[in-house]
Amino acid sequence: MNEVEQRIAELNKLLHEYGHAYYVLDKPVVADSVYDQLLHELIALEEANPSLIYPDSPTQRVGGAVVEGFQKVTHDYPMLSLSNAFDEGDLQEFDRKVRQAIGDHFSYVCELKIDGLAISLKYENGVLAQGATRGDGVVGEEITANLKTIRAIPLRLKEPVTIEVRGEAYMPKASFEKLNAQRLEQNEELFANPRNAAAGSLRQLDPKIAASRQLSAFIYAIGGDGEAYGIDGHAEMLDYLEGLGLPSNKERQRCTTIEEVVAFINKWTDNRGNLPYEIDGIVIKVDRYAHQDELGYTAKSPRWAIAYKFPAEEVVTTLLNIELTV
C-alpha cells in the first residue's frame, strides 16, 4: 500500500470509530473540530484519488442523486404493528393470556417506545445494502439514500454478517426545536411534533435535505428468525446487535411480573420529559424466542408483545375544556 492508500485507510478507520462513539454510543472520544478536520482531509484525498473511495466511507453518507420517487420493496418478513394497552387492566389481561399460553416461567423485556417511524435495514456481508419504511407492513418504500444520512446507522457492521434489522428513525428534540426555529425564520409551516418532522424528512427525495435534519435511530429487533444466529431471546439479541455496531436503546429492563412492568411504566411516565427524544409509551415483550413462537401472531400483531400508550398530554384536554366552556 502506498502512502496515500495508507492514509485513506487510516482516516476511514478513525472516522468510523469516532462516528460510532459519538452517534451510536453517545460518548464522543474526540472534539467535533478534530472529527471535521479528519473528514475534510479524507474528502480532499478522495477527490484526488476517486478510485480509493471506500463504499462505507463517511463521505458517502450524503450520496445519492435527487430521485423522482421511491421504489417499492416487499419485506421478506411483514413489519407488523403492536397492539395497544391503555391502562393497567389491559396489561393484566395481556399477562393473563401470556401465562395461559406459556405458563409462569418466563420474563418480559420492557423498552421505551420511541415516537418516530419504523424502518427496516438490510446488511449484506456487513455492508448496508437497503433501507425501507414499514409502508403497509408488507410493502414499504426504499429510502436507503436517506437512511444512510443518519449517522447512528452504521454503513458497515463490525462483522460481515448478512442480517435484516428493524428499528425506529426519530428526530431528537434538539434537532426538532432547531428545525422549527429555522422554519419560523423562513415563514415556513412548522412541524407539529418530532415524529412528523422525522417522517417528513425521510420522505424527502433529495438526501441532502434528509442529511440536514440530523435524525437518529434505535434498532429494536431482528427481521426474521433470531435463532438462526444462535440467539435464544430478545434481550440477548439486542446485546448482539449492539456488538455489531448498531444503536439500541439502553433504557431497557427485564421484568418478571406485571407489577415490575407497571413500576417501569410509572418511572418513565414521570421521567420522559428528561429524555433527548420523544417516547409515546412502553413496549413490553416476552423475551425468549421459543415462547414468542408458542404465542404467535394475530393477522396484524404479535401476541407476545404489547405497547402501553401514555395518556394524551393534558394540554389537549385543556383545549377541549375551553371549546366546551365557549
Ligand X SMILES: NC(=O)c1cc2c(=O)c3cc(F)ccc3oc2nc1N
Q: Pick from 38, 80, 147, 241: which binds ligand X (CB under 6 A)?
A: 80
- With H, G, I as helix, E, B as strand and everything else as coil, classify residue 100: helix
**Residue among 12 and 292 whose Cβ is closer to ligand X:** 292
CA distance 213 to 162: 29
CA distance 181 to 9: 39
Q: Pick from 15, 85, 114, 165: which binds ligand X (CB under 6 A)?
A: 114
**Residue among 183 and 303 whose Cβ is closer to ligand X:** 303
Catalytic residue among 13, 27, 113, 309: 113
Q: Pick from 113, 148, 288, 291: which binds ligand X (CB under 6 A)?
A: 113
**Residue among 110 and 145 whose Cβ is closer to ligand X:** 110
Active site residue 285: no
CA distance 270 to 154: 32
Most distant CA pair in the chain: distance in Å?
A: 78
27 contacts: CB under 8 Å, gap ≥ 6: 21
Give me 326's grid cell.
365557549
The interface with ligand X within residues 286-305 (CB under 6 A) comprises 302, 305
**Helical (H) or strand (E) element with 98:** helix 88-102
Q: Compute CA distances 205 → 70, 169, 234, 277, whole Å.
A: 8, 17, 35, 25
Task: Name the nearest CA neighbour of 269 among 67, 88, 27, 53.
Answer: 88
For the bound state, the minimum distance from the C-beta of residue 94 to ligand X, rounded and expressed in Å, comes to: 14
Binding mask 219-248 for ligand X (x = CB under 6 A): -xx---------------------------
Helices first, then strands: H and E counts in the chain: 11, 11
Q: How many residues bind ligand X (CB under 6 A)?
A: 13
**Residue among 80 and 261 whose Cβ is closer to ligand X:** 80
Q: Which stretch binds ligand X (CB under 6 A): 108-116, 140-148, 183-191, 202-210?
A: 108-116
Catalytically active residues, by annotation: 113
State the residues that interact with ligand X by CB under 6 A.
80-82, 111, 113-114, 118, 168, 220-221, 283, 302, 305
